[in-house]
Amino acid sequence: MSATQQELLSGLGAPRGIWWRPAHKQERTWIAIAFVWCLILFAMMPFWHLKGGQNPSGFRSRVDPAAFAERTLRFVEEYQVGEVNGIPLVAPPPGADVYLLAQMWRWYPALRLTEGVTYNFHFSALDVNHGFSLYPANLNLQVVPGYDYGLKITPNRPGEYRIVCNEFCGIGHHNMLGSIVVEPAGASPSSATPASAAFATPSDRSRP
């Protein structure tokens, strides 16, 4: 092995190159641009969390899944107004604590809310992680067993919303649909959407 080869293969000797020369002005400019851009992106994270209006600022607390399920049942008992496909339909009063339980493979119960009214939502799961995804509003959050996720929600657009599970949770994952109907402010309960329509699946909707 020649001396040059030995030098090339050794990690002990400094490699040949031009790295010790001062950086060219253009290179320094680009590094400065990249650095400033990094700072902007870094600042955007807290800024967008506060100003972007897209990250729900709820809080989580620990909860025993069985205790949460029991609270959900009590909530259903108190405010149930009907039934949708064997799942109770619940219409909580303004400001009520609303419990929504995710379990393989359903969202329990179905909800009827009023536009412009604030509710204290509690989300939790009985068994595994589920994903709460509200269509077509594009609200997404994780529903985790053992944790009660509290979130103040004020529906601002009447309509029928579908809850889709967006976290793979087993063989029935794709069938895990729930329903939230938001009635226009001032509407009488008798003008409620028929419960069956609230659970329309995409194929149901495309039918004439």
Residue showing tokens 């001062």? 22
Q: Are 112 and 81 in contact (CB under 8 A)?
A: yes
Q: Does 165 bind ligand CUA (CB under 6 A)?
A: yes
Instruction: Mark the segment that binds ligand CUA (CB under 6 A) among 12-20, 44-52, 160-168, 199-207.
Output: 160-168
Q: Are 169 and 130 in contact (CB under 8 A)?
A: yes
Q: Closest separation between CB of residue 143 and ligand CUA, Å?
A: 8
Q: Which helix (H) or strand (E) holds 132?
A: strand 130-135
Q: Which of residues 96-135 bind ligand CUA (CB under 6 A)?
A: 102, 105, 130
Tell me whether residue 35 or residue 168 sits nearer to ligand CUA (CB atom).
Answer: 168
* Binds ligand CUA by CB under 6 A, chosen from 148, 167, 181, 182: 167
Q: Does 176 bind ligand CUA (CB under 6 A)?
A: yes
- Residues in contact with 3: Cβ distance below 8 Å, sequence separation at least 6, in sequence order: none
Q: Are 143 and 121 in contact (CB under 8 A)?
A: no
Which residues of this protein are in contact with ligand CUA, per CB under 6 A? 102, 105, 130, 165, 167-169, 173, 176
